[in-house]
Amino acid sequence: MSRGNLRAIKRRIASTESTMQITRAMQMVATARLNKIQKRWKDVKDYSNYAERILKKVPFVEESLYTQNSEGSLIFVITPDMGLAGSFPSDLVKEALRVKSKLEDFKGYFALGAKGYSGLKSETVLEKEINLFDIPKVDHAEYLLDIIFQIMENKGISKVKVVHGELKNALIQLPKTYDLLPITKDKFEIDARYEYEPEEEKVFEDAAYQYLLSKMYLFLFETKLSELHARQNAMKNATDNAHDLIEELNLEYNKQRQASITQELIEIVNGANMQ
């Protein structure tokens, strides 16, 4: 067995060890970031639930930006800016394309995140935002809502669907679609005992905006958590695979080294016998 083969295996072992160090480091970074922001997850969900409960108690207003139901649909797609998160980013893009295929009044996409824009740039993308944030805040949700309202006004759109990541658990992250606008009357549980001040339209507008803002913040936050879980899992799998490959390469190296030593001994013995 040639020493060239042994050197090639050694190089592969060294390269795989280097890769394993990188994937392990990325796994640790994803875990640290998860531990940092996961404590806020319950507060984000509570904010969304409270805003929705308040909306259900106010009088429904038919003539409003938030309730009009005419032609024109926008798909807002929330995706990561970074890769190395398994199939999660591409699953979000596939879901966005699936939703579009079922719409007859599709006007275009609003892509949030580099992965979303990259996957949809051959489609009709009306707006994009890349590298907007690392960890989402309410201010980011407010900024994105303002852009959506501008698109709706400029393009004659009344329907908005949001494609985002749903965090089932630490191992399962799935794409999900939510009908953000219009707000429909079936969401409301009107209680005649209440009287509202100021006028009902003002109360509804304020409650509806807070509801939309809380949902947007929830979707941004849940997608970020899903991304970090997906990256943590992907890097753990990559690290484990690299470890297994190193063990296989070490076994192959030892086998070939032993065969090389045995061959050299045989040649020495044969040479001695010929003298």
pLDDT digits (tens), the chain, 275 positions: 456 688 888 888 888 888 888 888 888 988 888 888 988 999 999 999 999 988 888 888 888 888 888 889 999 999 999 988 999 999 999 999 999 999 999 999 999 999 999 999 999 999 999 999 989 999 999 999 999 999 999 999 999 999 999 999 888 999 999 999 999 877 666 555 666 667 778 888 999 999 999 999 999 999 999 999 999 999 998 888 888 888 888 888 788 777 766 766 666 666 656 65
Which CATH code of 3.40.640.10, 3.40.50.150, 3.40.1380.10, 3.40.50.1970 fits the domain covering 57-233? 3.40.1380.10
Q: Any residues with CB less than 8 A from the CB of 98 and at least 6 apart, and which?
A: none
- This prediction's pTM: 0.85
